[in-house]
């Protein structure tokens, strides 16, 4: 039995009321969306907020809308199941629909939200444990301790960004809207991440994610998501890769991109993918060779650490496998890729 | 502590609860609805699954207060007792689980059956793959899942034939395999 620590819960019905609550709490409050990440963490004693501000009853926070320019505006409290099942998202942002469809199991996708997945706490096998377990170990850098158990002698926390939707949203060029009382800003999701596993986001903890905007994609857009996990459900990623191809009017690759997650503190794009794939025609040997070259680029650049279950060695060897399969799936309009 | 007006299995229930109590804790310890099991208590196992407006959620990761205004169905609500009787009318899913021997220790069974019911509510003819998907958030450490999937397929076939409750309440007969109820 894991009990939650005592806290006060507020369930504001408007965004303004939520922002006021967060401002008045002066850092003593935490935001709860679907609760599938926060509540286990609270049960493990990782946080002890005095106040939880629930977003569940805020009007207008759930929904997927198409804007006049073809962009998708997704409310932060939209359940992952709804994102995965949305025909609009499947058509316009396939990598996101696929990533959302592979987050955990059916119950957690009903509860978990897109905003919550973006704002997910980083994870580490030395951190996501009960207090008894962590105390026995002597704690760790991320919580209460001074030593890192992943990198011996490490002074920087390398807990892994584990949000499946993050690399998908990166390959889609999504922007995030953050608000606090009397303040509003837009941030490209690619600029959100910092390399600090303790707090891997370049936003303040009292800022509220209020919208996720996915710009209209080129007609030649192709996307897919690949996930490595222990079982075919429930688990956080041992490795996640999103791939994007943009094809020109002849069907040749004009632009391409891969981003990965469950590596270190931030989701990482792979550099140089577009250069090796540009000009190739999917379905030809030339394309297959370029995909192999792109997979090797991913292998060189993405280096999983021993922060989440599954050995770093195995996860790294799976990087090119997943990169190759996810790029091929994107080219064929298929996916998601989950090799187990 | 606050007083919550909940709707559990179609009944209005009033319960006093602390803000940090989960729906599972309120169900089990305040309302005595112990059919929802407390397994891992952190979202891994699915044994606490309940239906929230017809969709499966984990009650161990749901704050009790957040259930206000929503219809909650627990395993007790899957087999309601009609007014004036003590004998529950089993859901075809429950009958099929019984007939197929889709349990050993039984701990995962309430969650399994509610996940199966949620699937059948939206998909009357699920494929085996869709059944696997729908049950993927529920762990069983005994059976190896074979009979569980078989039970869901049996329930689907019987409902299609219009005799979903044909073997109902024959619990003592228990674990004999269904007679031709399993689709090929």
- Looking at the domain covering A1-57, what would its CATH class be? alpha beta
Q: Does B19 touch chain A (CB under 8 A)?
A: yes
Topology alike, domains A1-57 and A221-332: no
Given pLDDT bands bounded at 50, 70 and 90, which one contains residue B178?
very low
Instruction: Tell me which of 3.40.50.300, 3.30.750.24, 3.30.390.50, 3.30.450.80 is the CATH number of domain A221-332.
Output: 3.30.390.50
pLDDT tens-digit profile of B98-108? 999 998 999 99
Ordered per-residue pLDDT tens for chain A, 340 residues: 899 999 999 999 999 999 999 999 999 999 999 999 999 999 999 999 999 999 999 999 999 999 999 999 999 999 999 999 999 999 999 999 999 999 999 999 999 999 999 999 999 999 999 999 999 999 999 999 999 999 999 999 999 999 999 999 999 999 999 999 999 999 999 999 999 999 999 999 889 999 999 999 999 999 999 999 988 777 899 999 999 999 999 999 999 999 999 999 999 999 999 999 999 999 999 999 999 999 999 999 999 999 999 899 999 999 999 999 999 999 999 999 987 5
Which residue in the set A9, A40, A232 is minimally distant from B19, CB to CB?
A: A9
User: What is the phi/psi pair of residue A59, to 5°?
Assistant: -70, 140
CB atoms within 10 A of CB A57: 17
Sheet containing A208-214: which strands, arranged edge to edge?
A64-66, A72-74, A208-214, A175-180, A183-188
Q: Does B115 touch chain A (CB under 8 A)?
A: yes
Nearest CA in chain B to A233: B136
Given pLDDT bands bounded at 50, 70 and 90, which one contains residue B171?
very low
Residues of B in contact with A85 (CB under 8 A): none
Residues of B in contact with A108 (CB under 8 A): 43, 58, 61, 137
Residue B84 has pLDDT above 50, yes or no: yes
Distance, CA of A340 to CA of A331 (rounded, Å): 21
Q: Does B123 touch chain A (CB under 8 A)?
A: no
List the alpha helices (DSSP H) in A138-250.
165-171
Residues of B in contact with A43 (CB under 8 A): 41-42
Q: Looking at residue B85, what is its pLDDT?
A: 80
Q: Does B122 touch chain A (CB under 8 A)?
A: no
Q: Looking at residue B164, what is its pLDDT?
A: 64
A108·B43 Cβ contact <8 A = yes
Q: Does B44 touch chain A (CB under 8 A)?
A: yes
Task: Judge whether A164 and A237 are in contact, CB under 8 Å.
Answer: yes
Residue B180 has pLDDT above 50, yes or no: no
User: Roughly how many angstroms between the first and final C-alpha of chain A, as a whole number?
Assistant: 31
Which residue in the set A32, A52, A106 is minimally distant from B115, CB to CB?
A: A106
pLDDT tens-digit profile of B122-155? 999 999 999 999 999 999 999 889 999 999 999 9
Closest Cα in chain B, distance from residue A145 (Å): 23
Residue B173 has pLDDT above 60, yes or no: no
- Rg (C-alpha) for chain A, rounded Å, is 20
Q: Measure the CA dihedral A197/A192/A105/A35, to 10°.
A: 80
CB atoms within 10 A of CB A282: 22
Q: Measure the CA dihedral A172/A319/A107/A33, to 10°.
A: -50
Which residue in the set B55, B65, B137 is minimally distant from A105, CB to CB?
A: B137
Closest Cα in chain B, distance from residue A2 (Å): 6
Distance, CA of A29 to CA of A296 (rounded, Å): 44
Nearest CA in chain B to A10: B19
Q: What residues have CB less than 8 Å from A252, skipping those under 6 apart?
A: A279, A280, A281
Residue ranges per domain, chain A?
1-57, 221-332
Distance, CA of A77 to CA of A59 (rounded, Å): 10
Distance, CA of A279 to CA of B40 (rounded, Å): 51
Nearest CA in chain B to A43: B42
- ipTM, interface predicted TM-score of the complex: 0.95
Which residue in the set B20, B46, B133 is minimally distant from A107, CB to CB?
A: B46
Question: DSSP class of residue B107?
Answer: T
Q: Does B55 touch chain A (CB under 8 A)?
A: yes
Question: DSSP class of residue A5?
Answer: P
Q: Does B129 touch chain A (CB under 8 A)?
A: no
Nearest CA in chain B to A12: B66
Q: What residues have CB less than 8 Å from A226, skipping those under 6 apart?
A: A240, A241, A242, A243, A322, A323, A325, A326, A329, A335, A336, A337, A338, A339
Ordered structural domains, chain B, with CATH: 2-78 (3.10.20.30), 92-173 (1.10.150.120)
How far is it between the farthest Cα atoms of chain A? 61
Q: Give the β-pairing of A208-214 and A221-228.
A: unpaired
Closest Cα in chain A, distance from residue B184 (Å): 25
Residue B176 has pLDDT above 80, yes or no: no
């Amino acid at each position: 039995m894991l009990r939650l620590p005592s806290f006060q819960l507020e369930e504001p019905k408007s965004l303004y009321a939520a922002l006021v609550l967060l401002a008045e709490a002066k850092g003593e409050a935490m935001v709860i969306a679907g609760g599938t990440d926060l509540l286990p963490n609270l049960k493990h004693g990782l946080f002890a907020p005095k106040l939880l501000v629930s977003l569940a009853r805020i009007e207008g926070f759930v929904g997927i809308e198409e804007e006049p320019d073809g962009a998708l505006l997704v409310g932060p409290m939209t359940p992952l199941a709804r994102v995965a099942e949305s025909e609009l998202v499947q058509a316009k942002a396939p990598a996101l629909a696929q990533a959302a469809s592979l987050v955990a199991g059916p119950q957690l996708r009903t509860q978990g939200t897109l905003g919550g997945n973006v704002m997910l706490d980083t994870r580490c096998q030395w951190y996501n444990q009960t207090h008894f377990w962590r105390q026995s170990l002597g704690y760790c850098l991320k919580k209460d301790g001074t030593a890192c158990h992943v990198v011996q002698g490490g002074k920087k926390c390398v807990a892994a960004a584990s949000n499946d939707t993050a690399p998908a949203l990166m390959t889609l060029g999504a922007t995030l809207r953050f608000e606090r009382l009397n303040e509003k800003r837009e941030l490209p999701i690619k600029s959100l991440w910092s390399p600090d596993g303790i707090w891997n986001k370049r936003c303040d903890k009292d800022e509220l994610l209020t919208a996720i905007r996915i710009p209209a994609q080129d007609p030649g857009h192709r996307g897919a998501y690949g996930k490595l996990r222990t079982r075919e459900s429930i688990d956080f990623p041992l490795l996640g890769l999103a791939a994007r191809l943009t094809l020109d009017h002849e069907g040749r690759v004009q632009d391409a991109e891969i981003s990965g997650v469950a590596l270190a503190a931030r989701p990482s794009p792979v550099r140089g993918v577009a250069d090796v794939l540009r000009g190739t025609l999917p379905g030809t040997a030339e394309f297959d060779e370029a995909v192999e070259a792109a997979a090797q680029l991913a292998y060189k650049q993405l280096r999983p650490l021993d922060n989440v279950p599954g050995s770093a060695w195995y996860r790294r060897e799976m990087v090119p496998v997943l990169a190759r399969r996810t790029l091929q799936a994107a080219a064929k309009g298929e996916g998601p890729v989950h090799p187990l | 502590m606050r007083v919550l007006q909940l709707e559990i299995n179609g009944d209005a229930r009033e319960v006093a609860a602390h803000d940090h109590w989960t729906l599972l804790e309120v169900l089990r310890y305040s309302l005595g609805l112990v059919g929802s099991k407390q397994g891992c208590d952190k979202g891994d196992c699915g044994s606490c699954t309940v239906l929230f407006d017809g969709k499966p959620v984990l009650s161990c990761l749901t704050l009790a207060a957040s259930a206000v205004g929503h219809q909650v169905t627990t395993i007790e609500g899957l087999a309601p007792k009609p007014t004036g009787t003590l004998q529950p009318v089993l859901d075809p899913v429950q009958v099929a689980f019984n007939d197929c021997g889709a349990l050993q220790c039984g701990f995962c069974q309430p969650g399994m059956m509610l996940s199966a019911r949620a699937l059948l509510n939206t998909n009357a003819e699920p494929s085996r793959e869709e059944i696997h998907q729908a049950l993927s958030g529920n762990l069983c450490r005994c059976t190896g899942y074979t009979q569980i999937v078989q039970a869901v397929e049996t329930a689907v076939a019987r409902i299609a034939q219009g005799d979903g409750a044909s073997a109902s309440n024959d619990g003592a007969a228990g674990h004999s395999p269904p007679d031709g109820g399993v689709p090929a």
